[in-house]
Amino acid sequence: MPLNKSHTHSVAVIGGGPAGLMAAEILSKSGVQVDVYDAMPSVGRKFLLAGKGGLNITHSEPLEHFLSRYGARRGQMGPLLDAFGPDALRNWIHGLGIDTFVGTSGRVFPIEMKAAPLLRAWLHRLRAAGVRFHVRHRWCGWDHVAQPGTLRALKPDALRFATPSGEQTVRADAVVLALGGGSWARLGSDGAWVPLLEPRGVPVAALQPSNCGFDVGWSEHFGPRFAGHYLKPIAVAFAAGGATYHKQGEFVVTASGVEGSLIYALSAHLRDEITARGAALIHLDLLPDWTLQRVIDAVSQPRGSRSFATHLKSRVGIHGVKAGLLRECVAPQDFTAPAQLGAAIKALPLRLRAPRPIDEAISSAGGVCFEALNKHLMLNALPGVFCAGEMLDWEAPTGGYLLSACFSSGRAAGLGALAWLGGCP
């Protein structure tokens, strides 16, 4: 609801990523004085990195499939994405003068593929609307530790910021926290907000890596030789908790294990399996377009004087990293048994030992529990304080789902703060 312009409210938005900037836009449109604070020298740093190889802003698949990508948090994310979903996000981007297109995989990109033009246009519009930006301002909490459940009638405690010129305190009528998760600390998402919220009665699920790689523990021969090599085409099968997952695509070998789009797509299930059982066993189909019998028939052919490496390459097209992986994982005697070798080629077992550290992950799971928020994303323990973006307890695969959720939750937090300021909690 539009506010009375004779009394300008002020809102502090802490975090200059997509969620925070979207909240700032919603608020500034209604006459609120918005100040955006960010710890980094400029805003949108992780957003810019996300667009370095082509900014995948959202996905064009049917909404029912789209919402399923949020797993256990579909019930909480669904209303936010119903209100501002993929189509609405594309229209909003078009309003910035940025065209979009749908790629062959259904993913949606800006026509220039990069994040920088979109961010520049957006910041220009926000500044024109009166939004003020304060960079190198690291939020340090409030000016004193209050008991949870501060009365609404009281002015919120002053916010503390560490700045190049010393500590500063700021008062605002409402606060939107959009501080990111725990991945990419060098870009500002370091999870440092967790110990600031928990003492005030805000439950926070532990931050964990999501869309991440995993350690395998390669031999001294395989890891150094094949790190950086892509496995494609390949399919991964994984079973846990009575469910079976099967997906085809590609991933890359690293010095310590595996990472890449196919691994990221299953990372939440793999991580949870490792947490529960200490390891996750996946099976790799090195020839996903071949039947098992066709593989067995091919490797059964006599190889004559040719080496086994040449035999594999000529008969089934396996060479390079795929051949190296077979040598890494298959017992030597199985290479002379066509049935066992064929079975290994079609279902090569690979044990994942641990997810890579959270700071290497594309995104993070965990965060402020939805049970701690009302339907407007306001903290029950801290009236007038709203949360948005990756600091909330949800996760999703890559493919445009991460950014879509950040934009939609930022919008919801902005609207929630407006309702709060207007007397409609």
CB 392, CB 416: distance < 8 Å:
no
CA neighbor of 322 nearest in space, from 252, 238, 390, 248: 252
Q: Is the dihedral of CA 384, 387, 388, 394 positive or negative?
A: negative
CA dihedral over 422, 9, 190, 55, signed as positive or negative: positive
| Residues 112/55, Cβ–Cβ less than 8 Å | no
- Output the pLDDT for position 48: 92
95-129 confidence digits (pLDDT tens): 999 999 999 889 999 998 999 999 999 999 999 99
- Closest Cα partner for 222 from 349, 309, 320, 353? 320
- Report whether 180 contacts 188 (CB < 8 A): yes
- Which residue is it, tokens 């065209």? 99
DSSP 399: S
Amino acid letter at 327? R
Domain boundary assignment for the chain: 10-209+365-421, 214-355
Which phi and psi angles does 297 have, rounded to 5°?
A: -60, -40
| Average pLDDT for runs of 10 along the chain of length 425 | 58 97 97 96 92 88 95 95 97 96 94 93 97 97 63 63 96 96 90 95 96 96 95 94 91 96 94 96 97 94 84 92 95 91 96 96 96 97 96 95 97 97 62
Give the pLDDT confidence score for residue 156 in this predicted structure.
57
**Cβ-contact 1, 419 below 8 angstroms:** yes
What's the CATH number for 10-209+365-421? Answer: 3.50.50.60
CA distances from 228 to 32, 215, 231, 258, 326 (A): 50, 14, 10, 9, 17
